[in-house]
């Protein structure tokens, strides 16, 4: 007897466990258009409200993978490792991380995405570099990986097409937050990608998708389990996203800061997280005799960056775009900056033109927010806290609305205890 969408929806609505056959059928039928959007919307909402067992999530992920092609990097001359971040504000870590790990002997096939809303997108950042292109064929991707050791590009349409269709639906039906669907969405693409090892950067805090530490830990454990069950060496770091990473949020601004890190400088928090993730990626790939800090110091990571950018048509020496207009936000009083809200800064950067509300919208390469003080710093009245950048000055008022109440200044001498960048590590047995 053939399946029908209504019975699948009712099973999950009534808190039942979907069978393997139900899952395989509904994912395939939705991808083919046999199951209507409104029916999959109802099922997604039932999953959000009632959850899924580990077995259901595993099978759902299998079905998403089976909807498209699988890549194979086994022919490369070096092991592979990838990183996925759940997204945040100022999260430019992929840019220095991929060439850094490549400089240590591990190939990084980094399939990345674009920004939506207050979280930035890696591809948008790199497209600020003149000539750089995100779209590569599978053969081009393999060639760059073999030659350079790192590639950052867009995922092809053939990789987990069920996820692409389902994510678009979740985005407009209030079901993005369903942890089983988040985990299967991320992991179906990463498993289909074919990497041998995977390190997950699961962010938690006001500027992150996951605001609550317990939810972030559940998501991390679910994804690690999925990776291990599918033969991918997987580990997750829970990292703080209550404060923006680094001193910039915006496309060209973040590229400039990433190059500073590769040159041996850059903000301490960006360097710390880049090295922490690099060490996890190297260990997961079986490389234990290399210290990524050395590759930052001796220029090897910078050399890999320049070769990676050039291999994708970019000019690593070209001047980066700058915004035509700026506006400075100053401190209203003297004291200690105790809070700088990542979400407020992210929304401001988005409203200035660094992000988009819909996927088809263009972004301004030079737009964003430059940060002059971080929590724990002493500030004086009138001192610049932030500089806003945009080509369209009529956006300033809208961005300033997002920054209202986004920072706190306490009296001088107030004790300040920063949240660590890496909050926890979730391994296969966690």
In a domain, 69, yes or no: no
194 lies in the same domain as 135:
yes
Options 12, 189, 217, 233, the catalytic residue? 189
Q: What is the pTM of this model?
A: 0.94
- Residue identified by tokens 């089976």 is 66
Is 189 annotated in the active site?
A: yes
Cβ–Cβ < 8 Å for 113, 154: yes
In a domain, 181, yes or no: no
Q: Which of 284, 318, 352 is the last residue of a domain?
A: 318
Is 125 annotated in the active site?
A: no
Is 170 annotated in the active site?
A: yes
In a domain, 253, yes or no: yes
117 lies in the same domain as 212:
yes
Specify the CATH number for the domain of residue 258.
Answer: 3.40.1030.10
204 lies in the same domain as 349:
no
Residue among 309, 221, 254 at smallest CA distance from 91: 254
Range of the domain at 343: 325-410
As a whole number of angstroms, the distance between CA 290 and CA 301 comes to: 13
Q: Which of 297, 318, 339 is the last residue of a domain?
A: 318
Cβ–Cβ < 8 Å for 80, 199: no
334 lies in the same domain as 293:
no
Q: Is 161 exposed, middle or buried (0-12, 13-18, 19+ CB in 10 A)?
A: middle
197 phi and psi angles, rounded to 5 deg: -140, 155
Options 59, 84, 190, 233, the catalytic residue? 84
Helical segments of 230-357, H only: 251-262, 268-284, 292-297, 300-311, 342-349
Specify the CATH number for the domain of residue 371.
Answer: 3.90.1170.30
267 lies in the same domain as 390:
no
In a domain, 76, yes or no: no
Give how many domains the chain has, as a whole number.
3
As a whole number of angstroms, the distance between CA 326 and CA 279 comes to: 38
313 lies in the same domain as 329:
no
Tell me how far apart the terminal alpha carbons of the chain are, to the nearest angstrom: 41
DSSP SS3 for 370: strand
Options 124, 163, 240, 341, the catalytic residue? 163
Cβ–Cβ < 8 Å for 153, 393: no
Options 12, 125, 170, 203, the catalytic residue? 170
139 lies in the same domain as 46:
no
109 lies in the same domain as 240:
yes
Q: pLDDT for 363-384, tens place per residue?
A: 999 999 999 999 999 999 999 9
253 lies in the same domain as 369:
no
Please give the DSSP secondary-structure letter assigned to residue 351.
Answer: I
202 lies in the same domain as 238:
yes
Rounded (10°) angle between helices 179-193 and 37-50: 110
Is 389 annotated in the active site?
A: no
Is 407 annotated in the active site?
A: no
pLDDT tens for the chain, 430 residues: list them: 478 999 999 999 999 999 999 999 999 999 999 999 999 999 999 999 999 999 999 999 999 999 999 999 989 999 999 999 998 999 999 999 999 999 999 999 999 888 767 888 899 999 999 999 999 999 999 999 999 999 999 988 888 999 989 988 987 888 988 999 999 999 999 999 999 999 999 999 999 989 999 999 999 999 999 999 999 999 999 999 999 999 999 999 999 999 999 999 999 999 999 999 999 999 999 999 999 999 999 999 999 999 999 999 999 999 999 999 999 999 999 999 999 999 999 999 999 999 887 767 789 999 999 999 999 999 999 999 999 999 999 999 999 999 999 999 999 989 899 999 999 999 987 5
């Amino acid at each position: 007897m053939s399946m029908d969408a209504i019975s699948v929806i009712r099973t999950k609505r009534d808190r039942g466990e979907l069978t393997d056959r139900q899952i395989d059928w509904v994912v395939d039928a939705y991808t083919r258009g046999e199951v209507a959007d409104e029916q999959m919307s109802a099922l997604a909402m039932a999953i959000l409200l009632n959850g899924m067992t580990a077995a259901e999530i595993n099978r759902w992920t299998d079905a998403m993978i089976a909807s498209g092609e699988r890549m194979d990097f086994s022919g490369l001359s070096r092991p592979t490792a990838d990183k996925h971040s759940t997204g945040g504000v100022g999260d430019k870590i992929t840019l220095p991380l991929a060439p850094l790990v490549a400089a240590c002997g591990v190939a990084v096939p980094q399939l990345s995405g674009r920004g939506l809303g207050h979280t930035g997108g890696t591809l948008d950042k790199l497209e600020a570099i003149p000539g750089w292109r995100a779209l590569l064929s599978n053969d081009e991707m393999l060639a760059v990986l073999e030659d350079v050791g790192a590639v950052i590009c867009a995922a092809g349409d053939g990789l987990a097409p069920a996820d692409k269709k389902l994510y678009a639906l979740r985005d407009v039906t209030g079901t993005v937050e369903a942890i089983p669907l988040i985990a299967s969405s991320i992991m179906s693409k990463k498993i289909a990608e074919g990497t041998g090892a995977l390190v997950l950067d699961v962010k938690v805090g006001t500027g992150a998708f996951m605001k609550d530490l317990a939810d972030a830990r559940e998501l991390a454990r679910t994804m690690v389990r999925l990776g291990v069950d599918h033969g991918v060496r997987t580990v997750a770091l829970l990292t703080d996203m209550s404060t923006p990473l680094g001193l910039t949020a915006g496309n060209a601004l973040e590229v400039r800061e990433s190059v500073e890190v590769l040159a041996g400088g850059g903000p301490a928090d960006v360097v710390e997280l880049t090295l922490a993730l690099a060490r996890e990626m190297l260990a997961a790939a079986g490389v234990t005799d290399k210290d990524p800090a050395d590759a930052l110091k001796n220029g090897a990571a910078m050399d890999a960056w320049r070769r990676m950018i050039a291999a994708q048509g970019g000019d690593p020496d070209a001047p980066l775009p700058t915004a035509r207009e700026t506006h400075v936000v100053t401190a209203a009083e003297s004291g200690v900056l105790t809070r700088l809200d990542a979400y407020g800064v992210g929304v401001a950067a988005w409203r200035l033109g660094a992000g988009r509300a819909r996927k088809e919208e263009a972004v301004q390469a030079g737009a964003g927010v430059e940060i002059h003080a971080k929590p724990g710093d002493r500030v004086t009245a009138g001192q610049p806290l932030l500089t806003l950048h945009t080509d369209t000055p009529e956006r300033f008022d809208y961005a300033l609305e997002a920054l209202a109440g986004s920072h706190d200044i306490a009296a001088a001498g107030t004790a300040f205890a920063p949240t660590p960048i890496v909050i926890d590590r979730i391994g296969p047995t966690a």
